[in-house]
Structure 1
Amino acid sequence: MLILRLILESFRFAWNALRMNLLRTVLSLLGVTIGIFAIIAVFTLVDSLEKNIKESFSFLGAGVIYVEKWPYTPDANGEYKWWDFMSRPNASYNEYKFLQANLKHQSGIAIFAVRSNITIKRKNNSISEVDLRGSSFGYSDIFEINITRGRYFTRTEVESGRNVVILGNNLGQNLFPNEDPVGKEVKMSGLKFMVIGVLKKEGESFLGTPSNDDTAIIPYNSFRKLYQTGTGAINEIGSSIGIKGYDADVGLVELENEITGLMRTRRGLKPREDDSFALNRPEAIANVIGGVFDVFGVAGWIIGGFSILVGGFGIANIMFVSVKERTNIIGIQKSLGAKNYFILFQFLFEAIFLSVIGGAAGLILVLLITFIPIGNLEVVLSLKNIVLGLGVSAGIGTVSGIIPAALAARLDPVIAIRSN
């Protein structure tokens, strides 16, 4: 009850200070408002950028390790030895079958290859610059395949290399504007393929990374009829073996070690020889992105820190004036039995309330930014940043109000009552 009484009374005094001296209080709180706005605006933009960029790489899958020829990132020394990577063999279909038979820590495995800029025809309609993707049966275990019409491949269709295709949403709409594509035929590289499914529309990502809207997916063995791949040769269209692990990061480490051992055995590498393959994880790209955005976060703290420092002095000034104006009231409260801690917390809570009001104003300004359209960037003020903004405001109020509150608590009641 005492705490509740303190909070209500402090809120009343803070509101009176804001109402009676509106201009002075607003100007004093402006530093906190600008500081919180600067910090939270930077964090909100950074978080939104990071989220949108990571979502742009969602086509790589989550919790997936790729066995490939080229690594995504440089080595520990910052070198990218492309001259060595160029001579590596591509991942082969036989290596995929070997890993599929021997891996114990995987929850899904697939081999796939991509050929860009192909043309798909349907009677008099044709679409160029299409990405043709050949994939094995487990492809749907690695990636999210949302089919709105039709179905996915059967195991028999994949293993036998049937000429069937799943079209991206844009391809289905443009090739078959007034009819259902399922069951109809399209032509690619001189061969006819029957459409068995159409994918859900994904839309354009923030970075314009590949989406399935302009992609055609066919069985991997059908893809091999059209293009040389899957043999492991250096100059063929490179295939990737995607292996999905379990959710726990420890499980992915175990999977990575298991893949390394099996691939080295399969390729007959000696103990001192370097790996002739790369194990790529999308998390590596995410870590690089996260490191870049950490720098922006530090910049936000520096920019906002100066404004908050000014705001803190403003709140301290308000509290010193408040103590001066209410010295007589403090003396009366003490003469009626109010303890020092009651007076201390009364003024301290008042400083916190004033600071939080300034911080809340800054958060409202950030919220207004989220309604401004910025291309494909979706800006969202997260609950984490709201709590951070209010927490920093409360902290500044505590630091700024502690000295005035302590002075008020230590006033002699007799002297305080006699003051004007």
Structure 2
Amino acid sequence: MVLSKVIAESFRQARAQLTGNKLRTFLSLLGISIGIFCIIGVLSAVQSLQDNVSGSLAKLGDDVVYIDKWPWKDNSDDWWEYFQRPYPDHDDYEALRDNLATGKLVNYWTVPDTRVIKYQGKAVEGGYLFVTTYELDRLFNIEVDRGRYWSATEYRNGTDRILLGYSIAEQLFGPIDPIGREVKMGGRKYQVIGTLAPAGDDLINPLDFDDAIMVTYNNAARFINLKNRNQYGGTIGVKAKEGVEIQRLEDDIQGILRSARQLRPRETDNFALNKLSMTADALGSFFGVLNLIGLVIGGFSIIVGAISVANIMFVSVKERTSLIGVKKALGARQYIILLEFLTESVILCIIGGMIGLAMVVGITSIINMFLPAFQISLSLFYAITGVVISAIVGVLAGLIPALLAARMDPVEAMRS
């Protein structure tokens, strides 16, 4: 009963502060609002960015090892060493395919250059030639929008069959069904057997095949010297068998490649084994720095806001000194006065925090309208966090003024 009266009186006093001197109160709460906006806004943006990027990179698979010339980590210190390495080639692919017992799938691909593709006098430039072995669709779960993937016979014989990315197919054929149509590329005729599904609107899309012109390795080997690994080297992806740990797969790959490349025991590896966790660790550090920046900026703003709210409470105590004396003379206990001013301070700060959350919602809504590929969302957890931070700031900002009011001598207070 007493607590409800204290809260009701605190709400009344907080409303009086808000309406009595609007400009002073607004400027005092502005620091709280900006602080909450910085902290919750940055946390929400970074979390949304992390979810977007992590979801995109997850398409690469956490059970896949990528063999490349360059490591995915920072390689600035050993750049020349990595530069001198040979690219993985089809011979490496065959060595792994034939000898790797712990691998479920081994796939090799390379992107030699861009090509012009033509259909009935219409030409599309800028499409990149994507040369791949047969396992690509199973390694990355390639989704064929129309038509089909290559058959085993077509791959083995290197027949002139082609798959087109979504954008290339749209530009070249428009509303026409491309399946079965004959196109020309580099003076050769190809039959279109399939088009790939659009890549989507992810902020980072590691499997963006929208502009791809896909042919099989056996077909491309007829008109490109793919044995020149320094010019046409590519990447090998190895998917682990069920139940095989990624570290064991890496060890087996390392042994087979060292043997295939005839490396001596004391020679270092001239290839890099990359996996998704390497990128995730690097991104985790990056996102951690972004979160820290938001916390620092927001923290300074909240400190300024807390000092401003404390100033309001000191003024409030000064203006209500006589009333405090009357209450104490009528029997009000110290903790009642203390709770009254603390609650008032918390209410003011929560109002400032709610304004900050409203700013987050407004700004993120505008960003989402103009950046459909990057949608920022304010989670319930972060909204509650913002309110809790505001309440804690309210307690800290109002504690000294509340103690000052609670410890007043009633007689001296009524005289002032």
User: Would the alpha carbon gap of residues 81 and 313 (structure 1) be closer, same or farther in structure 2, given more than 3 Å must change?
Assistant: closer
Shift, 1:32, TM fit = 1.7
Q: Deviations over 1:171-195 (max 9, x none)?
A: 2122222410112222223333222
Shift, 1:345, TM fit = 4.0
Shift, 1:131, TM fit = 0.7
Supply the distance in 2 between the matched residues of 1:37 and 1:355 (Cα, whole angstroms): 13
Q: 290-299 or 29-38: which moved more?
A: 290-299
User: Would the alpha carbon gap of residues 99 and 394 (structure 1) be closer, same or farther in structure 2, given more than 3 Å must change?
Assistant: farther
Shift, 1:236, TM fit = 4.2
SS in 1 for 2:263: coil
Whether contact under 8 Å (2:180, 2:191) holds in the other structure is: yes
For 2:189, the aligned partner's letter is K
Q: Deviations over 1:347-402 (max 9, x none)?
A: 33332221122122223233333305667873624426545544433332222122
SS in 1 for 2:65: strand
Supply the distance in 1 between the matched residues of 2:355 and 2:294 (Cα, whole angstroms): 18
Aligned residue number for residue 407 of structure 1: 404
Aligned residue number for residue 310 of structure 2: 316
Aligned residue number for residue 267 of structure 1: 261
The yes-or-no answer on 1:33 pairing with 2:33 is yes
Shift, 1:254, TM fit = 4.2
Matches within 5 A, 1:169-188: 169-188=166-185
Aligned residue number for residue 120 of structure 1: 117
For 2:29, the aligned partner's letter is L
SS in 1 for 2:111: strand
User: Would the alpha carbon gap of residues 246 and 343 (structure 1) be closer, same or farther in structure 2, given more than 3 Å must change?
Assistant: farther
Supply the distance in 1 between the matched residues of 2:86 and 2:332 (Cα, whole angstroms): 83
TM value normalised by structure 1: 0.80
Shift, 1:310, TM fit = 1.9
User: Would the alpha carbon gap of residues 96 and 403 (structure 1) be closer, same or farther in structure 2, given more than 3 Å must change?
Assistant: same
Q: Deviations over 1:114-133 (max 9, x none)?
A: 12211212221222221111
Q: Deviations over 1:20-72 (max 9, x none)?
A: 443332121122223333444555565666667x4797498242431112334
Q: How many residues are treated as equivalent by the alignment?
A: 412
TM value normalised by structure 2: 0.80
Q: 365-374 or 337-346: which moved more?
A: 337-346
For 1:239, the aligned partner's letter is G
**Correspondent of 1:194 among 175, 191, 196:** 191
Supply the distance in 1 between the matched residues of 2:146 and 2:351 (Cα, whole angstroms): 53
For 2:230, the aligned partner's letter is N
SS in 2 for 1:211: coil
Structure 1 unaligned residues grouped into runs of 5+: none
Shift, 1:222, TM fit = 2.2
Q: 12-21 or 333-342: which moved more?
A: 333-342
Aligned residue number for residue 360 of structure 2: 366
Q: 96-105 or 115-124: which moved more?
A: 96-105
Supply the distance in 2 between the matched residues of 1:108 and 1:328 (Cα, whole angstroms): 83
Whether contact under 8 Å (1:130, 1:216) holds in the other structure is: yes
Supply the distance in 2 between the matched residues of 1:313 and 1:247 (Cα, whole angstroms): 59
Identity of aligned residues (%): 38
SS in 1 for 2:210: helix
Aligned residue number for residue 60 of structure 2: 61
Supply the distance in 1 between the matched residues of 2:194 and 2:2 (Cα, whole angstroms): 68
User: Would the alpha carbon gap of residues 307 and 81 (structure 1) be closer, same or farther in structure 2, given more than 3 Å must change?
Assistant: closer
Supply the distance in 1 between the matched residues of 2:324 and 2:102 (Cα, whole angstroms): 70
Whether contact under 8 Å (2:87, 2:229) holds in the other structure is: yes
Supply the distance in 2 between the matched residues of 1:210 and 1:328 (Cα, whole angstroms): 72
Supply the distance in 1 between the matched residues of 2:6 and 2:45 (Cα, whole angstroms): 38
Whether contact under 8 Å (2:56, 2:205) holds in the other structure is: no
For 1:121, the aligned partner's letter is K
Whether contact under 8 Å (1:56, 1:206) holds in the other structure is: no
RMSD: 4.0
User: Would the alpha carbon gap of residues 208 and 312 (structure 1) be closer, same or farther in structure 2, given more than 3 Å must change?
Assistant: same
User: Would the alpha carbon gap of residues 200 and 341 (structure 1) be closer, same or farther in structure 2, given more than 3 Å must change?
Assistant: farther
**Correspondent of 1:99 among 96, 99, 107:** 96
SS in 1 for 2:112: strand
Shift, 1:313, TM fit = 0.9
User: Would the alpha carbon gap of residues 303 and 124 (structure 1) be closer, same or farther in structure 2, given more than 3 Å must change?
Assistant: same
Structure 2 unaligned residues grouped into runs of 5+: none
Shift, 1:227, TM fit = 2.0
Q: Deviations over 1:146-194 (max 9, x none)?
A: 3322223334433443332221112212222241011222222333322
Q: 54-63 or 102-111: which moved more?
A: 54-63
User: Would the alpha carbon gap of residues 390 and 252 (structure 1) be closer, same or farther in structure 2, given more than 3 Å must change?
Assistant: farther
